[in-house]
Structure 1
Amino acid sequence: MVRIPTQSLLVGVVQSGKGRHGGRGLEACPGGGVVWLEAIGYHGDGVWGRGLPVPVSGPRVGLPCLADMIRAGRLCRGLGLLRPHPLPDPAGGSAPPSRRLRTGHPQRRDLFSDLEKEIVKFQKKLKESLPGSDWDPVGTTKGLPPERADVVIVGGGVMGWSVAYWLKALEPHRDALRVVVIEKDPTYSQASTVLSVGGIRQQFSLPENIQMSLYSAFFLRTINEHLGVVNEPPIDIQFNPSGYLFLASEDGAAVLEENVHIQRAEGAKVSLLSPAQLKKKYPWINTDGVAVASYGLENEGWFDPWSLLNAFRRKAMSMGVFQCFGEVMSFTISSREIMEPEGELTYSRINYVRVQMPNSLEYQLVECSLVVNAAGAWSQKLAEMASVGIGPPDTQEGIKLPVEPRKRYVFVWHCPDGPGLDCPMLVDTTGAYFRREGVGGNYLGSLSPAEEEEPDIQDLEVDHDFFQEKIWPYLAHRVPVFESLKVKSAWAGYYDYNTFDQNAVLGLHPLVENMVFITGFSGHGLQQSPAAGRAMAELILEGKFKTINMEKFSFNRFVSGEQVLERNIV
């Protein structure tokens, strides 16, 4: 028997057959069976019904199955067993905020409607007074998100769109879920995805990272079977299968060899090369200081990041996902205190997401069942809006999401006599890396700075001295012809850097019951996005990971202090 509390479709985590939601009962029936709807709410708007049995499938262990909850609510509506029931106003009134201030409704009556009309008139006069100018005044923005959604994904990078696609691909029946993706940068000019160098490799030290990249490589090989859209051109991500080449010194040789054994055990095809074998295969490499090298024989190389992002986005939208360009400014949250063995803890739940439209006074309150934090480098800021990490520092409520933006440079240079078509993505013993870019003697690469030399993150300006003083000497030592290279351009982007252990954060927050994380990949997120997105969709829809077990990457490791370290961070 499952009792579903009012005001919620997606309820709290089930532990040992019991759930927590407002202190009321959520009882799980092992093996599935019938949910007896003693009271059910739909998206928190107060509708509820009684005495309706709804079949469900499987035990409720971990995250309850969102699809079952939604199906139950819609079935109640369809049978006319629901009646409206007003909810307490989070702001203290008699109705939810979105009922009092509906910015997306054509009959809106709020503080700003008259002001906006006057602003539009004034802007029109300004525009007319500047004939021939390409200046555009700030205006209202169309494309408000819907007032209700089952899942709100915050972050329209490759992770966010991967989750959106997999939710629709795995939903129990067509249109079972209403999914919204919110992205604050309509131009994607600062998006980590499109500023990536686009590498994919299986040469990691953690089995889970290797498995994710192997799955993603399979997905990319068959991408048109997954992301192809009828009557649209086939997808070409411009994959270049030139492999990764890792070099290790005497100090790092044992670790590299151990990593290769782990990679092979997981099914990756990686070869070990002695300095003599390395020189024979790549005559242009100076092998001084190299004790051993590892080379990925298949499923490694690089591809165009924008093509993958756009393919996920195009497919997800064709399946009914709503895209919204706007910025999440705050959440409306309900909370309660529960006495646990370790003391009193505050459990929270997000009821509404406030989305501010770009260059506009308009905003929308989106009522939702679940929020996916796919905000990348800015995911800690988003988590803090949901009260994550704002408690006393020595308590569970004070544990922050340890993900912060780290600025990384990418430099492009020209060297007509440089390595040819056989040039892999080479990762030097120093950490400097480069790869070929096309066939015209162009290359790109970089180096992650030391911890004490991390650049300022306030902007994406490039420090060209960093290349001259740090990177170029390493490149010229390893590839002597790079002595005569000429830098052509450069850009900077952000890593969503996990300061705790440089690995992904996947899954529920222990106290904010309906926020899940998919962030903190620390530079290897793009290549793992197909696998990570599927894992999150499985967790949301089925209550558990199925394809690859990602439990190791949960938020709970920050509570226990147990690191999950990845040794191959580039």
Structure 2
Amino acid sequence: MRSISQISSRISAVRSFQTSSIRLWEKYENERYYAPGEDPLKRIWHGLTYDFKRWKRRYEAARNDAFKRYNPISHTKSSNVFDYELMPFRTEVLIIGGGLTGSSTAYWIKERFRDEDFKVTVVESPDRLENTRSMLSSGPITQQFSIPELIEMSLFSAEFLRHAGEHLQILDNDPPDINILPVGFMYLARNEEEAEIMKENWKTQLERGAKVAYLTKSELQARFPFMNFDDVIVGTYGLENEGLIDTWQLLSAIREKNMTLGVQYIKGTVEGFKFENLGIRPEPHYLQEGDEADYSAIDERKLRAVLVKPQMVGASARPIETHFIVNAAGPWAGEIARKAGIGCGAGILAVPVPIEPRKRVNFVIHAPDVPSFDIPAFTDPNGIFCRPHDAGNNFICGKIPTRAEDAKTNHSDMSVDYNEFYNDIWPFLVKRVPAFKNSKVVNAWAMYNDVNTFDDLPVLGENLKYNNFYTMAGFGNYGPQMAIAAGKLYSERIFDSAYVTINVRKYDMRRIMNQKKYKEPLKCSV
């Protein structure tokens, strides 16, 4: 029989604090990075040993995994294991912007091709992300547009969101909840000209598969007796696939899914681009003496890498080599393009990407007398919009400014002026729905929208000079509903070399170079 002292000593040994040192094969991701030309011998040795050390780490990780330990060798190279390096040296696709557009693009790429050697990296700036529609938008989903491509993109996104729990579910986790609030959108026409435009748009929507009702004034009054339609002739009302989503919940679900697929997110700032010269062509006839070499070199260079500065104290920018670059920076897409020389050069490079950050303000009001379950998400022809926020008689309202009003706004000032609600919004809300008379403001915020100052429509496509630089921005006035479809379309551009689901070729930079504007009279609100 063991003595009490022996038993107590064994118990204390079990309870003692134990540590394990990091093994040699686990330290490789913190090794020093050798830039090209810095130390050729050490750089060659690092490149030769890098893959072997990575395989060693994955082999050891597989041995300790209950699902992989029976055959760890098969998981050494082909397993979709997340790389733990702080910043990758190279990647196949580098996406600038970690919002809904960038994260959706990464999701569709990895969903299509789940190979860990096909790396997808997303660079995001948290300081800027917190002011975008991906974080602060009310998440409208509607198909009431006049352009067929926008209708089809919204229908695609609505179908995806209907099954988002299945698409974005992670193994052994509950399906994510993106808090869909089904509600129909209503648009109104006050005169014969607006009514004729609305009817033509309605026919286009029906042809594309949208479920939208075209209602006369008497039908509107019968269906929504608590609203005032004295100045209205006709209106349209969405019957299916319309509503509101929690954009933050959707973004979180997509990001978590992406990480399980091997997408790497980097917190940092894009400071510039690295170019590669492919050779100098013969002298152009329009160049003056002494300028030939410089202009020819600039004209022949191609994008090779992105200079990313990680978000940490004392860090400097480091190049990440890549084959494809996606400019999904939202309101700052034009700024990113300028860093690549687009809009700052000659010839094709003289045409800028006309995406600028524009301030938008949303007000949350509490109106106890308004029927929150029966009221539609309506938008007046004057730009005033209102939609239910939850079942507690709370509503989100605001105004889509005209171009003249937008030009007078100080977009660098993100403060909220509550007089804007009481002077410009509230009187129209009370006129449309008299029950809003007893409402009060409970919250408000300002955010940035990515607005195309050329024609207010998105820019989708490669730059004609750099065919590996793809711009995907300008969805500001249409909310986040286009992000899901846009990411799907880019994955088709990579793997199928063409748009398969929806052809959006006409929305690239060529229309801006040719000064050809498309018109969308009815806009969704943010």
Distance change (3 Å), C-alpha of 1:514 and 1:569:
same
| Corresponding position of 2:433 | 479
| Corresponding position of 1:375 | 329
Q: Which of 316, 324, 339 lines up with 2:258 in the alignment?
A: 316
* TM superposition shift of 1:348: 3.8
| Corresponding position of 2:353 | 401
After TM superposition, the structure 1 = structure 2 runs for residues 104-123 of structure 1, keeping only pairs within 5 Å, are: none
Distance change (3 Å), C-alpha of 1:441 and 1:225:
closer
Q: Is the 8 A contact 2:367 2:393 kept in 1?
A: yes
Q: Which of 281, 297, 312 lines up with 2:239 in the alignment?
A: 297
* TM superposition shift of 1:419: 2.6
| Corresponding position of 1:245 | 186
Identify which range, 187-196 or 431-440, moves more after superposition.
187-196
| Corresponding position of 1:83 | none
Distance change (3 Å), C-alpha of 1:505 and 1:337:
farther
* TM superposition shift of 1:255: 0.8
After TM superposition, the structure 1 = structure 2 runs for residues 45-56 of structure 1, keeping only pairs within 5 Å, are: none
Matched position secondary structure for 1:252 = helix
| Corresponding position of 2:466 | 512
**Which residue identity does 2:139 align to in structure 1?**
G
**Which residue identity does 2:304 align to in structure 1?**
N
After TM superposition, the structure 1 = structure 2 runs for residues 399-438 of structure 1, keeping only pairs within 5 Å, are: 399-438=351-390
Matched position secondary structure for 1:233 = coil
Q: Which of 101, 121, 124 lines up with 1:183 in the alignment?
A: 124
Matched, 1:550 2:492: no
Q: Which of 274, 290, 305 lines up with 1:352 in the alignment?
A: 305
Taking the aligned partners of 1:342 and 1:556, their CA distance within structure 2 comes to 25
Q: Is the 8 A contact 1:237 1:307 kept in 2?
A: yes
| Corresponding position of 2:157 | 216
Partner deviation per Cα, 1:80-128 (whole Å, 9 max, x = no partner): xxxxxxxx97xxx6789x979x9xx99xxxxxxxxxxxxxxxxxxxxxx
Q: Is the 8 A contact 2:459 2:473 kept in 1?
A: yes
Taking the aligned partners of 1:147 and 1:525, their CA distance within structure 2 comes to 34
Partner deviation per Cα, 1:130-174 (whole Å, 9 max, x = no partner): xxxxxxxxxxxx973211111110000000000001111112x52
| Corresponding position of 2:444 | 490
* TM superposition shift of 1:270: 0.6
| Corresponding position of 1:159 | 101
**Which residue identity does 1:429 align to in structure 2?**
P
Taking the aligned partners of 1:95 and 1:354, their CA distance within structure 2 comes to 20
Taking the aligned partners of 2:92 and 2:336, their CA distance within structure 1 comes to 19
Structure 2: stretches of 5+ with no match in the other structure = 1-34, 51-83, 287-295
* TM superposition shift of 1:267: 0.6
Taking the aligned partners of 2:362 and 2:203, their CA distance within structure 1 comes to 31
Matched position secondary structure for 2:483 = helix
> Greater share of helix residues, 1 or 2?
2
Taking the aligned partners of 2:283 and 2:352, their CA distance within structure 1 comes to 20
TM (norm. structure 2) is 0.79
Taking the aligned partners of 2:431 and 2:282, their CA distance within structure 1 comes to 62
Matched, 1:255 2:164: no
Q: Is the 8 A contact 2:348 2:464 kept in 1?
A: no
Matched position secondary structure for 2:248 = helix
**Which residue identity does 2:174 align to in structure 1?**
P
| Corresponding position of 1:560 | 514
Matched position secondary structure for 1:511 = coil
**Which residue identity does 1:190 align to in structure 2?**
N
Taking the aligned partners of 1:330 and 1:195, their CA distance within structure 2 comes to 28
Taking the aligned partners of 1:542 and 1:352, their CA distance within structure 2 comes to 24
Taking the aligned partners of 1:347 and 1:386, their CA distance within structure 2 comes to 14
Please tell me whether Structure 1 or Structure 2 has the larger radius of gyration of its CA atoms: 2
Q: Is the 8 A contact 2:133 2:479 kept in 1?
A: no
Matched position secondary structure for 1:523 = helix
Matched, 1:202 2:202: no
Q: Is the 8 A contact 1:348 1:513 kept in 2?
A: no
* TM superposition shift of 1:505: 1.1
* TM superposition shift of 1:463: 1.8
After TM superposition, the structure 1 = structure 2 runs for residues 37-116 of structure 1, keeping only pairs within 5 Å, are: none
Taking the aligned partners of 2:283 and 2:521, their CA distance within structure 1 comes to 37
* TM superposition shift of 1:501: 1.5
Matched, 1:501 2:455: yes
Structure 1: stretches of 5+ with no match in the other structure = 1-87, 107-141
* TM superposition shift of 1:470: 1.0
Taking the aligned partners of 1:323 and 1:557, their CA distance within structure 2 comes to 33
After TM superposition, the structure 1 = structure 2 runs for residues 457-468 of structure 1, keeping only pairs within 5 Å, are: 457-468=411-422
**Which residue identity does 1:539 align to in structure 2?**
R
Distance change (3 Å), C-alpha of 1:266 and 1:348:
farther
* TM superposition shift of 1:179: 0.5
Root mean square deviation, CA, Å: 2.6
Matched position secondary structure for 1:193 = helix
Q: Is the 8 A contact 1:415 1:441 kept in 2?
A: yes
**Which residue identity does 2:392 align to in structure 1?**
G
**Which residue identity does 2:223 align to in structure 1?**
K
Partner deviation per Cα, 1:517-559 (whole Å, 9 max, x = no partner): 1111132251111111000111122211111111121111111
> How many percent of aligned residue pairs carry the same amino acid?
37
Q: Which of 478, 485, 495 lines up with 1:524 in the alignment?
A: 478
Q: Is the 8 A contact 1:432 1:448 kept in 2?
A: yes
* TM superposition shift of 1:462: 1.2
Q: Is the 8 A contact 2:213 2:239 kept in 1?
A: yes
Taking the aligned partners of 1:564 and 1:347, their CA distance within structure 2 comes to 32
